[in-house]
Amino acid sequence: MENKNYLHAQTTERIIKCFYKVYNELGYGFLEKVYQNALFYELINAGFYCEAQKPIKVYYSEKLVGEYYTDIIVNNEIILELKAAEALVEEHEFQLINYLKATEIEIGLLLNFGKKPEIRRKIFTN
């Protein structure tokens, strides 16, 4: 069985290369949607299967209590949560963990196109 710390490690490594390619070309200062569109294009170009703005339903006691939209899901196995903030904060990390809790997906990458590029890799075993 694959160690959870290394789950989809090669895939996340390739995604991170795409992230840096976009960051290095566009730099800091655009709206999140610009980075999302560029990264989506780059990921598709790298051979990934991607879905943008996929709705995810959130249940509480078997009742639908909300819905959110992922920025990008890669290969149906990794959620990408994108930010264009000055810096990542703990709230961003909890947001991604909650997205993982609401799905069968166990790996998430928090990618910030801030003044300095930032990456956080989150794991939640369902």
pLDDT tens, 79-88? 999 999 999 9
Q: Which long-range contacts (CB under 8 A, 24 or more apart) does 62-70 make?
A: 68/99, 68/102, 70/99
Consecutive H or E run containing 64: strand 63-69
Q: Which of 106, 112, 45 is nearest to 83 (CA)?
A: 112
CATH 3.60.70.12 fits 9-123, yes or no: no
Spatial separation of the C-alpha atoms in residues 101 and 106, rounded to whole Å: 8
Q: What is the mean pLDDT of residues 71-97?
A: 95
25-55: per-residue pLDDT in tens?
Answer: 999 999 999 999 999 999 999 999 999 999 9
Radius of gyration over every alpha carbon of the chain, rounded to an integer in angstroms: 14
Helix spans in the chain (H)? 9-26, 32-45, 90-101
Specify the pTM: 0.91
pLDDT above 70: residue 17: yes
